[in-house]
């Protein structure tokens, strides 16, 4: 008869040792969540980390106290705090305190979010958020989706669904599959579209945007004329990462609807701005999308990692993604809403719950106000840039990304300045580029980022 190993069982059982470890971890988590001044921090070299933190994996373990201390004092300070108000590179994170706290609950509860049978309560709560978002974006009743790991996986899952529909329709019409399937998108579309195409072994046709960076329906129409039935999806961008530019989705939707081609909107960063009333006209046409994504861990103030993937008609996603195996028959033989059937995943964390808790706690009005603050602050600092000698905008901001230049600086100048800024723990602002020109950009997400902070960073460019 097999009996549990006492030492192995101790990892899962209550004991003074486990109680102490849990207390220490939760104390650290509480302090980090409620800390009034989150440190920006900076990376260490592999050599330094090996010297300071190497050898932590041993046969007998180093104990919870030492492991927690190692993380708090060495490992954590070697990670940039993406929720710091002066973290302004890439697309920052600014999770609400409520969402971060509830993320601990999601892990502590061992909630499985892949099926209704195992996680009905969690799935219901996630769906409350997804239905609210779908309604805000103008999608019809019956729309729905799933929270994925991130925008890359969300885009890939949507495009796999689109190709499955194209294959099925071709078979119904008696057409053979094209030699190569094609995705049409802007030349400024996110890199995840090219990545998805590589995974799917399909081609991408890049359509040049206009001078402001927007893709329009006429360019999409020309690409569809050239590639015909080989095109299984068109991707419009609801806020580019580098500039925050929104494509002319309305004109693109007019073309895709007239030709019955799947329209996917990649709104990972920017689509959250549609929750602000004055920004809705910028996103006209989103209501015609067959699928779309928006990442709550960006501008909806949720912790990593969460992408809301929403389909106009989720039945096509079920056909494309439901996995079949004997042990899964008990799930597949029911009409239940199983999130794992809607994207590329099976085992699934209920990653939408922290967002649900935060919205349920604070209400949607606060979310709208927090997003609008970022848009207004970006416009304000853009005006300040135009007033300063030696600085100039590359483009006027449309959302909350401000791209600008310091006249006469090379890429090396920008990098040296960026390095000093981080070394002095002033801010994290890395150089970007556009059309071969090195530039700088502020990505404003956090409601704690202020005009004074941003103008202080501009002051360092004059030194």
Domain 364-460 sits in CATH 3.90.1150.170: yes
Segment 274-289, tens digit of pLDDT: 999 999 999 999 999 9
Q: How many CB atoms lie within 10 A of CB 105?
A: 12
Note the maximum CA span of the chain.
81
> Percent of the chain, pLDDT > 90?
91
CA-closest candidate to residue 434, choices 245, 261, 264, 297: 245
| b/e 441-452 (16+ beta carbons within 10 angstroms → b) | bbbbbbbebeee
CA-closest candidate to residue 192, choices 249, 237, 227, 223: 237
Radius of gyration of the chain measured on its C-alpha atoms: 24
Q: How many CB atoms lie within 10 A of CB 280?
A: 15
Using the predicted structure, report yes or no on whether residue 3 has a pLDDT greater than 80. Answer: no
Give ranges for CATH 3.90.1150.170 in the chain: 364-460
CB–CB of 375/443 below 8 Å? no
Q: How many CB atoms lie within 10 A of CB 38?
A: 16
How much is the pLDDT for 400? 98
Using the predicted structure, report yes or no on whether residue 6 has a pLDDT greater than 90. Answer: no
Using the predicted structure, report yes or no on whether residue 68 has a pLDDT greater than 70. Answer: yes
Q: What is the pLDDT averaged over residues 89-108? A: 96
Using the predicted structure, report yes or no on whether residue 191 has a pLDDT greater than 70. Answer: yes
How much is the pLDDT for 380? 98
Name the pTM for this structure.
Answer: 0.96
How much is the pLDDT for 463? 63
268: left (phi over 0), alpha (psi -120 to 50) or beta: alpha
How much is the pLDDT for 194? 98
Q: What is the pLDDT averaged over residues 239-259? A: 97
Segment 218-235, tens digit of pLDDT: 999 999 999 999 999 999
Segment 14-65, tens digit of pLDDT: 788 889 999 999 999 999 999 888 899 999 999 999 999 999 999 999 999 9
Segment 117-169, tens digit of pLDDT: 999 999 999 999 999 999 999 999 999 999 999 999 999 999 999 999 999 99
Give ranges for CATH 3.40.640.10 in the chain: 103-362
Q: What is the pLDDT averaged over residues 67-95? A: 97
Question: Mean pLDDT, the chain, as a whole number?
Answer: 95
The number of angstroms, rounded, from the C-alpha of 157 to the middle of its chain's C-alpha atoms is 14
Using the predicted structure, report yes or no on whether residue 335 has a pLDDT greater than 90. Answer: no
How much is the pLDDT for 8? 67
Q: Whats the size of the chain, residue-wise? A: 463
Segment 314-329, tens digit of pLDDT: 999 999 999 988 778 7
How much is the pLDDT for 66? 95
Domain 103-362: which topology?
A: 3.40.640
How much is the pLDDT for 17? 87
Cα 421-425-430 angle, rounded to 5 deg: 40
> Percent of the chain, pLDDT > 70?
98
pLDDT bracket for residue 241 (50, 70, 90): very high
How much is the pLDDT for 16? 86
How much is the pLDDT for 416? 98
């Amino acid at each position: 008869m097999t009996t549990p190993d006492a030492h192995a069982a101790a990892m899962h059982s209550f004991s003074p040792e486990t109680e102490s470890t849990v207390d220490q971890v939760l104390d650290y988590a509480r302090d980090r969540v409620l800390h009034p001044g989150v440190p920006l921090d900076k990376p260490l070299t592999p050599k330094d980390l090996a010297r300071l933190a190497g050898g932590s994996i041993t046969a007998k373990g180093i104990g919870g106290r030492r492991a927690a201390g190692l993380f708090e004092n060495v490992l954590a300070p070697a990670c940039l705090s993406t929720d710091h108000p002066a973290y302004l590179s890439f697309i920052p994170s600014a999770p609400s305190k409520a969402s971060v706290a509830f993320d601990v609950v999601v892990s502590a509860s061992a909630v499985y979010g892949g099926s209704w049978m195992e996680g009905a309560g969690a799935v219901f709560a996630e769906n409350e958020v997804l239905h609210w978002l779908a309604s805000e974006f103008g999608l019809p009743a019956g729309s729905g989706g799933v929270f994925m790991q991130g925008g890359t996986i969300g885009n890939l899952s949507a495009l796999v669904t689109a190709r499955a529909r194209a294959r099925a329709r071709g078979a119904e019409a008696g057409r053979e599959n094209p030699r190569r399937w094609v995705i049409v998108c802007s030349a400024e579309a996110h890199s995840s579209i090219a990545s998805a195409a590589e995974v799917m072994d399909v081609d991408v046709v890049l359509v040049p945007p206009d001078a402001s960076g927007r893709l329009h329906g006429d360019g999409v129409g020309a690409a569809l004329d050239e590639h015909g039935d080989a095109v299984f999806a068109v991707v419009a961008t609801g806020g580019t990462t580098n500039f925050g530019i929104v494509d002319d989705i309305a004109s693109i939707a007019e073309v895709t609807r007239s030709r019955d081609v799947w329209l996917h909107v990649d709104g990972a960063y920017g689509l959250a701005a549609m929750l602000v009333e004055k920004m809705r006209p910028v996103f006209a046409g989103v209501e015609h999308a067959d699928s779309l994504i928006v990442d709550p861990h960006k501008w909806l103030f949720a912790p990593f990692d969460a992408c809301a993937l929403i389909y106009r008609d989720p039945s096509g996603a079920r056909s494309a993604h439901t996995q079949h195996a004997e042990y899964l028959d008990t799930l597949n033989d029911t009409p239940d809403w199983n999130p794992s059937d809607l994207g590329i995943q099976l085992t699934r964390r209920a990653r939408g719950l922290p967002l649900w808790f935060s919205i349920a706690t604070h209400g949607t009005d606060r979310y709208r106000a927090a997003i609008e603050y970022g848009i207004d602050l970006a416009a304000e600092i853009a005006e300040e840039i135009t007033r300063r000698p030696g600085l100039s905008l590359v483009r006027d901001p449309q959302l909350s990304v401000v791209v600008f230049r310091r006249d006469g600086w090379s890429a090396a100048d920008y990098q040296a300045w960026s390095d000093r800024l981080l070394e002095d723990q002033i801010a994290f602002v890395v150089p970007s580029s556009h059309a071969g020109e090195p530039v700088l950009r502020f990505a404003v997400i956090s409601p704690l980022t202020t005009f004074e902070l941003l103008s202080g960073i501009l002051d360092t460019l004059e030194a």
